Amino acid sequence: MSQHTLIIDGMALLFRHFYATSFRNQFMYNKKYLPTNGVQGMLRHTFKLLELTQPDHVIVAWDMGSKSVRNEWFEGYKANRVAPPEEMVPQFDMIKDVIHDIGFYQDGVRGYEADDVIGTVAQHIDDLTIVSGDRDLLQLINRTNRIWLTKKGYTEYHHYNYDAFLDQYGITPEQFIDVKALMGDASDGYSGVQGIGEKTALKLIQTHGSVEALLNNLDTLTPKMQEKINNDMESLQMSQRLARIITDVPLKMDTMMDNSRLNLDTVHINNVLADHDLSVAQKYLSTLNFR
């Protein structure tokens, strides 16, 4: 019987829940007058995921620092990202401390992003559920894993397995890398081919199968499209490299699987939440039904 693993994109959930309440200035200050809104939102979301997915293992993946190996490839990678709000800053260490005290396994490797940690884990584990708000991770879908993209609250997701992705996009998950290469990603700071958006990029890959095949058949495109691609060839090639999630991060997989086995002790978790003055998460925990 296969062991089901849940892996969570930590930064995606932390930022999501910080901004979900911060726009109303609901920072949920604790007794030390430190904001906890992102931490409490992420914890509640994680608890609900454990109830919904009932995994045997749970892993939280983190970005480690603001720079990654991609900044060595391309200086402009994520260069347009603004600094996090001051109320967010203390919550980066706080959430890791709380997760450590609860006993959930968490990992990150300097020089790599959480996506790369998740991508590497996906190469080694068969029965895997990935939770994030980042569509880049769709390229990781295969026949034995699935991705839940956050949609609303703690319970609504866009659910993707291999067949669902194929039905929606008409390409394989791996081909999504080349769609991203053509359309670029403004939030990550790479532009792909100027004038090609997602709809056109998807159609081109549906027709040609890959960027390489597209380039080998440029003469079949309209003169205007040929001009766009030829003018941005260097950007296209770099965008393709940046769009691909790294799947060989140096992780100790045996250690990860040994230490990520879920032992859900709600009394212990409740005590940890009390120690960290996280009353909102405490109250939410009491409403859940873990089997």
In the chain, domain spans? 5-167+246-286, 171-243
Q: CATH classification of 171-243 is 1.10.150.20, yes or no?
A: yes
Q: Is the pTM of this model over 0.75?
A: yes
* Structure confidence at residue 165 (pLDDT): 98
Q: Where are the beta strands (DSSP E) in the chain?
A: 5-9, 57-61, 105-107, 128-132, 145-152, 156-160
Q: Summarize the confidence of residues 101-106 as an average pLDDT.
A: 98
Return the amino acid letter for 89. V
DSSP H or E run through 171: none
Residue 39: is its pLDDT beyond 70?
A: yes
* Structure confidence at residue 161 (pLDDT): 97
Architecture (CATH level 2) of domain 5-167+246-286: 3-Layer(aba) Sandwich (3.40)
Q: Summarize the confidence of residues 128-134 as an average pLDDT.
A: 97
* Structure confidence at residue 82 (pLDDT): 87
The answer to whether 211 and 240 have CB atoms below 8 angstroms apart is yes
Q: Write down the mean pLDDT value for the chain.
A: 95
Backbone phi and psi for residue 191, each to the nearest 5 degrees, phi listed first: -105, -10
* Structure confidence at residue 29 (pLDDT): 96
Nearest residue to 120 (alpha-carbon basis) of 257, 259, 246: 246
Q: Kindly report, residue by residue over 223-274, the tens digit of the pLDDT.
A: 999 999 999 999 999 999 999 999 999 999 999 999 999 999 999 999 999 9
1 pLDDT band, cuts 50/70/90, is low
First to last CA, the chain: 18
Residue 2: is its pLDDT beyond 90?
A: no
Q: Summarize the confidence of residues 62-86 as an average pLDDT.
A: 87
